[in-house]
Structure 1
Amino acid sequence: MYDNEQSPVQPVVLVGLDRGNEQFEYQMIELANLASANHMEVSEVVTQKLDRPNSATYFGKGKIEELAEVLKVADVKMIVANDELSPSQIRNIEQGTGATVMDRTALILDIFASRAKTRLAKLQVQIAQLQYQLPRLRTSMNIRLDQQTGGGGGSFTSRGAGETKLETNRRLIEHQISVLRKELAEIEADDETRRAQRTKQNIKNVALIGYTNAGKSTIMNGLVKRFGENQDKLVFQADMLFATLETSVRKLNLPDKQSFLLSDTVGFVSQLPHNLVAAFRATLAEAAQADLLVQVVDYADPHYQEMMETTQTTLSEIGVGGIPMITIYNKADLRESTVYPERTGDILTLSAQDDASLDLLIATIREHIFADHVQTTLLIPFDQGQLVSDLNENATVHELTYTENGTEMSVTLTPAQAGRYEQYRLD
């Protein structure tokens, strides 16, 4: 069996501990979706109710024996755990079952590694993978360094006594992390320079945020097709988890000559690995510096409320707070008896596939980011006709009248424009 990328599907058994968390069922469903996104097929699910994980084996001893039997009957050689496991837990489960163990963190890192396209995304994923690998080093491990990171390429197997070999491997990884972080810092500095230039130009920035596969890229493309400065410059969209890892920024030019930047950010998921969150701070910087956040929610998913909680948690982890936000209940067309497009305050119910929904979204965004714009009347002397041309090109002109004293113009101006044309105001 193969997916559309011709990758073989790996049968797996999912395992998880129910510690009385009301979101446990949802987390196991999500784990199955993550496994599917990583070319895996769930054969069985094994869970156990425990107050806390067994420090040695995660499950209790009896459950490990049951798990071994399930694996044997299903003829499956891989286990995917719902939690991040310690090195000893992984080792003991593997010894007790004869199967390979992948925990939730490793699974998400694998998915990110397969989706990363740009150098920035690849660097961020590599750093997170290496940080995950460090405490899990074993003397028998081979350390493979990426040729692009200055590791020399190929596969490194250190020689010598066990402890010496372990320390050598550790130094190799720490060195590689240092090299990657240096290159990442250079890219981040370039990105920060670009953001500073945009800030200087006083262009508003709106960032789409939310759970993975909620429809952010679909909304982005719908708006770019209608208002994009380059309407062919669409972002990748697909019905899959983490289809987009890179932050894409597009300039939208509205019919009344008002413009803003729209950013499509990486999607969130519950229990996102801390190392990955830290590594992706550069990618999420667009959200942190936005003038307005647009939270996109998959309204058709029965667990959409848990997804919204995950989004809020992740925003807190990356230090995003105090930014105005509107919430979109997207995919309303997939919910039975749901009226759309509809707005209640800053909550919108809509479908990204619907033009009327996108019109409502644009109108709501405008209210927020252009609230400081000034509507006024200007009188421009006839001998300064260039100012009239500039206003026609760069401002929203509602009415223009020629009088005996000059050109009278009813306009909406940005704060910067209002200051520039203050001497010509009639009101």
Structure 2
Amino acid sequence: MSFPWAKEYKPANGFTQWLDEKLPVPRLVYNAVGAGYPVPRNLSYFWNFGVLAGFCLVMQIVTGVVLAMHYAANAEVAFATTEHIMRNVNWGWALRYAHANGASFFFLVLYIHIFRGLFYSSYKAPREMIWLLGVVIFLLVMATAFMGYVLPWGQMSFWGAKVITGLFGAIPLIGEPIQVWLVGGFAPDNAALNRFFSLHFLLPFVTLGVVILHIWALHIPGSSNPTGIEVKQESDTIPFHPYYTAKDGFGLGVFLILFSIFVFFMPNMLGHPDNYVEANPLSTPALIVPEWYFYPFYAILRAFTFDFILPAKLWGVLAMFSSILLWFLLPWLDRSPVRSGHYRPTFRKFFWFGLIPCMAVLFVCGGAPAEEPWVMLSQLATAYYFIHFLVIIPIISSIEKPEPLPYSITEAVLGSDKKAVLGENPAPAE
């Protein structure tokens, strides 16, 4: 976003002036994350998670490229090469644990980032494209994570691949040909492992490209903020550097401490023990579950247990994909003129006491056995999930009476005192 008060980049010497004329990379960085990019002054730590998500993506790419140098995508030796990385490659255990736990932390950061966007309505105009590209990023990360989970070729890797790819068989007429084409046969084997490895290596770079578009789209309208009010004056903003680089640096430090605790002290806590057993097509695990970050969508998939017009399995597949695809419609489902949930009392109640508990129930049910009471709870939570987005949000946005908004971001930070808002010095005390 172009602000008249934004600082202009000025090359410091002859070399930087020449570089700015021929390849203006320093100017691009200065205007993107430097003093040339004014940012709302009231951003909370919830705005750190976008930077953390970018860090996680880079970390996964770097560790993944190194791991790929020692991995063989062959069903006969894939499990053995994974153990080779753990036992024989210098620091291979650290790389593998960082990559595996990095996926979990990546999704944790993404979920917080998404729910921040939902609460503060970051999908509203003029930021619809930022939100839409964000949903595309989430879908790409989900696909990449699923394919990566298959690569160690443990029991859960094989049976997870078999269950998920088997979902395509539920599509009438074309389902089974698509499934055979995707897997390269009638069950996951060498062909599937090679395809998944290739796509798992490729998709992070595709994701990185979409992230660049996401950041580009962000810089057109500028960052949102907790009040949901647009920038009106120079006092509403501060330069991104050094203020938010310092704040993001602190958040990154806390993140790395927590991440290191998991990598070095409890690296297998977020994994599944069955995946340390080599894949055996003749031995079915007692409980087939995906990684924890897929639990809500797995619960939605299993919530449909009876046929109604269409087979239950097909209903589950449609509901699972629709649960994410409906996020594309949010900019038009929510018609409230107010963005921030802080000023929408009814919306706020349904968010904290409706959507959040619903997602918590889906997380629990997704990792539980497909039996009662988990099936019934997942059915109730699935029903509420779709009702919340398709019914409750549109109704609330039409009938809700928002609370009064502050005039500006500065007023929200400093109060409604005129001198404070205008930045005037108070009269000296007598």
- Kindly indicate whether structure 1 or structure 2 has the higher relative contact order, using CA contacts under 8 Å at least 6 residues apart: 2
TM-score above 0.5, yes or no: no
- Which TM class, normalised by the smaller chain length? under 0.3
Higher helix share: 2
Please report the TM-score for the alignment, with normalisation by the length of structure 2: 0.24
Larger Rg: 1
Please report the TM-score for the alignment, with normalisation by the length of structure 1: 0.24
